[in-house]
Amino acid sequence: MNLTGKIAIVTGASRGIGRACAIKLATLGAKVVVNYNKNADAANLVVAEIVQAGDGAIAVQGDVSQFAVAQAVIKATIDAYGRIDILVNNAGTTRDTLLAIMKEEEFDLVIATNLKSVFNMSKAALRQMMKQKYGRIVNMTSIAGVVGNPGQTNYSASKAGIIGFTKAMAKEYGAKNIAVNAVAPGYIPTDLTNSLPENIKEGIVKMTALQRMGTPEEIANIVAFLASDDASYITGQVINADGGLT
């Protein structure tokens, strides 16, 4: 895979899977815009790691659950690099609890951060990608969006929505040479999953065919493939990366 000359944006790239994606794309030659919401220090460390390896990167702050902010992130990218080839919609959050006691704001926050951010960034990037007649969008969903997960009606709904969005956008813009795919990770140790009780983690691992957790780097490898021209005839697909859990 070779991404030399490509410009990539990764949302939620200061940690976890987003961080791994940003670094992987950079190692393949892309210049990367590291989007983050709150943790500037962590985002700057990602940029420093990429730059130290000899690749280009900038950090751009912004809560992409807000459309005007998403537009600003796209503008900052075009101002810096002149184009956008790859968009990885990875920004996400959780507010896990049973539906009976879930607060409305907990549902709304997860939908906005996980799902509306995909709409915001994809729509904001679309004009530039159509102008170029080229684009690769990879959306981060989850096996929770495929099979559901108790205690995560908000999260599961947001991730299922991403799957529908991915398939519909792929059909709308395939003729414009814009490919849209999604990756559905299983259990990957990140800040979002570290709060799970140990017995839950152990139970998940036992249900996988590979009998282990995944890593952010393994997910980043799939994202990089889908973002590359090696996947030029793949669009509208959801790749389950869950160690055989589903």
Measured between alpha carbons, how far is 18 from 14 in angstroms, rounded to an integer?
A: 7
Do residues 52 and 26 make contact, with C-beta atoms less than 8 angstroms apart?
Answer: no
Indicate which residue of 36, 155, 173, 187 is catalytic.
155
Beta strands in the chain (DSSP E): 7-10, 31-36, 57-61, 86-89, 135-140, 178-185, 238-241
Per DSSP, 196 falls in state S
Tell me if residue 233 is catalytic: no
Angle between helices 117-132 and 67-81 (to 10 degrees): 30
Measured between alpha carbons, how far is 84 from 13 in angstroms, rounded to an integer?
A: 16
Longest CA span, the chain: 51
Residues that are catalytic: 155
